[in-house]
Amino acid sequence: MQIELDPQSEVPLYQQLRDAVVAQIASGPLKQGDALDSVRRVAASFGINPATVVKAYDALRQAGLIEANRRSGYVVVRDPGSGEPGEAFVAKWAAAARALVSEALAQGLGADRAIEIFSVEAEAARRRLADGREGDERTTR
């Protein structure tokens, strides 16, 4: 798992770590059933407090992407091949999208430009997923 954190960023380290793991799941390097590195190992790798890693992993667990297991540590439980998420996730995601659109509009970004940005990002994500999943038989699930 290749992740970079920027200690100078305004984005908190736990959020950077959480977002990087989500990106790894979305683009294919991390798949359902894969174990994440231990909290201690991640903390040591980045020279950060283990509590920061726990906070990131907890956010991923709350999002339903990973589970904590006493024996195997943290394991990915959803990936793009997992099928459609439940209605609870869709409702939560729609609320987050509304908040993001509201923020864009409040900053003066027009609705058309916001849609354009979303479309570009969605297409880039679709390409990354296709590139990362070529030859992966689970894409038909």
The predicted model gives 127-140 an average pLDDT of 55
Residue where a domain terminates, one of 79, 101, 128: 79
Burial 28-45 (b: 16+ CB within 10 A, else e): bebbbebebbebeebbee
Is the pTM here over 0.85, yes or no? no
Looking at the structure, tell me whether residues 34 and 98 fall in a common domain: no
Which DSSP letter does residue 36 get? P
Give 1-35 as a 3 state SS string: CCCCCCCCCCCCHHHHHHHHHHHHHHHCCCCCCCE
Check residue 134 and give its pLDDT.
45
Domain region containing 100: 84-141
Quickly state the pLDDT bin for 140 (edges 50, 70, 90). Answer: very low
The count of domains in the chain is 2
Computed over every residue of the chain, the mean pLDDT equals 88
Check residue 141 and give its pLDDT.
26
> Are 64 and 89 a contacting pair, CB within 8 Å?
yes
pLDDT in tens, 82-100: 999 989 999 999 999 999 9
